Every structure is written in structure tokens, then in C-alpha cells.
Structure 1
């Protein structure tokens, strides 16, 4: 007979009293109300959410630095002969593909919850392709830009922001590939799918960050 270990909630913040008022999507990220030792999904998601909050601080520091430099060097932001990044149809399509992938990966995770493995695999594979398409598009755009990372502030800040984001996209695609191969292991997702849920949350984070980067790097230039 399996004996379960019960974790007691010892949080200094009395979240229990507000638990019933929280939406279901938020409850999954809060490690409260104790729980069984083997039911680590909620606690894992809470820890991963804390990690993403830290990542958000890093991106926010880069974004605020960019805005501050842009405002304080408005007169000499673009060196002579350099037009900066441009909002083109190519960039818009690339952005739409990346942001649309969030509406593909979420149904994929939902399919996994209901043990619909084939649906999960096809939607998950589609997300991988969309993320890869974005990365290839970024590489093409970089090769066509009229400036490099050494071209003043406009070059260094653009490549730091987009490059750091692309690293996250690469990590997201790698994680998706790992989760896809794990779905091929018989019974792997029968009891828990924390890896797929964490990867989905990470991908949503990557897409949200790109909305901010797209706004300051392209729309501000338009």
C-alpha cells in the first residue's frame, strides 16, 4: 500500500483566505494548500513562474536602458548614413508567426492534459516550426541590416536586445523538441506533464517579451 506524504502549507502570507476568489489559471501557479508529495505539478509551476519573473527583470533592465539611451541621445542616435531598423512586411510576418504560435502551443498542452497524444504532437510540432521560422527570419533580417553591433548605440542595443531574445527562442524550441520526443515514450505523460506545461509558459513569456521589443525597436522607428 502506497503511503502519501502530506506537505503542510507554512507560507507566511495567508493566501488560503483568498484562494477561492482566484481564477483557475492563477491557482495552478501558487504553491499553497499543501498537497501530496508526488503531486509536484503546482509547486513546480510556482517555482518556474518565479524564475520567469527573474527573467522579466533582466529584460526590463535592458528595455529601460534602451529607452533611457534613446531619449538622452536623440540627436545623435543614428550615425550618418545609418537608417536603423525598419518596419517592413517581412518583419511583420515574422512577428505574426511568432505571436500566433502561442495560440498553437496552448491547445497542444490542453490536448496533452486530455491524453490526446496525436493532437498534442502535431500542434507541438507546428509550434516548433513556427519558432524555427522566426529564428530563420531573424537571421535573414540581420544579414540585410545596414548596421552592425559596432555601429554606435543603435547597433549595440539592437543586437543585444534581439540577440538575447533569440537565445530564449532557441531554448524554447529545444525544450519543445525534448518534450516532443518524450511523448514518444510509452506512458511518459500518463501521470504528469510538468515539462510540457513549463515549456508552454516559457513560450508565452518569450512571445510577450517580443511584443515589447517589437514596439520599441520597430514601431518607435516608424
Structure 2
């Protein structure tokens, strides 16, 4: 005798009541069908979004600390003979490359969803190269600065913010490499592509954070 399987709404919030009012791009971050037991991808993505929110709190704490220190030490922010980080051509190009990578990795994920593995691999590889370029360029920039980590508040805050962000970029590149290698395993993405989707979200998060850091570290000259 066939028994009907009953799925219990496992989500703590009844998303389905207001899910239909959300834009399409936002729906992808929420579990579908009220968190049904079989919706592993939706629940996993939602859990990853919660993780990114926790990461954003860490970045926000660093950013607000930087702002508070700049405002309270405006008179002696830069030690004698030390100049602030320069908005050089290298920094501008590096930022453009990183932010543009979001417009490469998203089509890559879309291609994977449609089963177009070759297009996914090429776009994914380009994103890896762009992230690697950012890390190398940031290292070059660090080597040209006239202050170090122990050079007052300007040194400690600059390297803390850029270094912590750089670790996230490195983590994103490593994840992308893993997802690219997994694409060569026959049938690896046939049953789902949570890893690639989560990596894409993580990369968008990294890019958004850099917009704030770039504005604070290079555009705030007061």
C-alpha cells in the first residue's frame, strides 16, 4: 500500500506567506515550500546567507571602529613623514577587476544551472584569475607603502581591514578552484550545485565589502 509522504515545515519562519511578494533575485536566498525536508539546496543556501550575515557583523565592527578612530584622532591620524594610502592607478585597476568579477561569476553559475559545463568552466576560470590578480596587486601595493602594521593607527587599521578582506578573497579563490576541479568529476553536479551557488554568493559578498573599504581607505581624505 502506498503511503503519502508528509513533509513538515521545518523553517522557523513561515516564508511562504510573504515569499510571493519578494523579487525574484531575493527568492533564491530563501528555502522554498516552507522549508520542506527535500529542499536541501534551498535550506543550505539560507543557512549560508545567515553565515554571511554573521561575517558582515565582523566587517561592520571593524568599519565602525575605523570611522570612530578617524573622527577622534583626526589631528594626529598620520604620524610625521607618513602619507595616507594613495588612490593610485594600481588600486583603481585592482578594484575594477575585483568588482567586475561579480559580473563574470554570476553567468558562470547560471551556465551551470543550465548544464553548460564548458561555459561554466571558462567563466569560472576567468573569475579565479581575476581574484588572483587582485591578491597579487594588493601585495604589490603593500610593498610600496611607507608604513607598516605597527605604524600608529593608520597602519594597524589599514592592514587589518585590507588583510581581513584579502583572506576572504583568498578563501573565495580556493573555493572556486575546488568547484572547478569538481566540475571534471562525471555527474558531480547532476544532483545539485550548492557549492557553486554558495561560492558565488560568497564572492558577491566579498565584492560588496570592498566597495565600503575602498571608500573609507582611499576616498576619505578629510
Q: TM-score range by the shorter chain?
A: over 0.9
1:150 aligns with 2:150: yes
Find the counterpart in structure 2 of residue 169 from structure 1. Answer: 169
TM alignment of 1:39-54, pairs within 5 A: 39-54=39-54
Counterpart CA distance in 2 for 1:217 and 1:4 is 59
Is 1:178 the counterpart of 2:182? The answer is no
Distance 2:132 2:35 in 1: 38
Aligned ranges 1:52-201 → 2 under 5 Å = 52-201=52-201
- Structure 2, unmatched stretches of 5+, are none
Matched, 1:203 2:203: yes
| CA deviation after TM superposition for structure 1 residue 39, in Å | 3.2
Change in CA separation of 1:161 and 1:8 when aligned onto 2, cut-off 3 Å: same
Q: TM-score, normalised by structure 2?
A: 0.94
Residue equivalent to 2:8: 8
SS in structure 1 opposite 2:77? coil
Q: Secondary structure at the match of 2:78?
A: coil
Output the CA distance in 1 between the equivalents of 2:142 and 2:7.
51
CA distance in 1, matches of 2:35, 2:67: 44
Equivalent-residue separation in structure 1 for 2:57 and 2:29 (angstroms): 19
Q: Distance in 2 between matches of 1:135 and 1:208?
A: 16
SS in 2 for 1:21: coil
Shift of 1:28: 2.0
Structure 1: gaps of 5 or more residues? none
Residue 195 to residue 16, structure 1, CA distance change in 2 (3 Å): same
**Secondary structure of 2:29's aligned partner:** coil
Contact between 2:10 and 2:36, CA under 8 Å: does it hold in 1? no
The 8 Å contact of residues 77 and 153 in structure 1, kept in 2 or not, is answered as yes
Distance between the aligned counterparts of 1:194 and 1:174, measured in 2?
16
Report the Cα distance in structure 2 between the residues aligned to 1:165 and 1:53, rounded to whole angstroms.
15
Q: 1:59-115: CA deviations, max 9, x gaps?
A: 000000000000000000000000110101110000000000000000000000000
Q: Is the 8 A contact 2:7 2:37 kept in 1?
A: yes
The count of aligned residue pairs is: 220
Give the whole-Å Cα distance in 1 for the aligned partners of 2:14 and 2:37.
Answer: 21
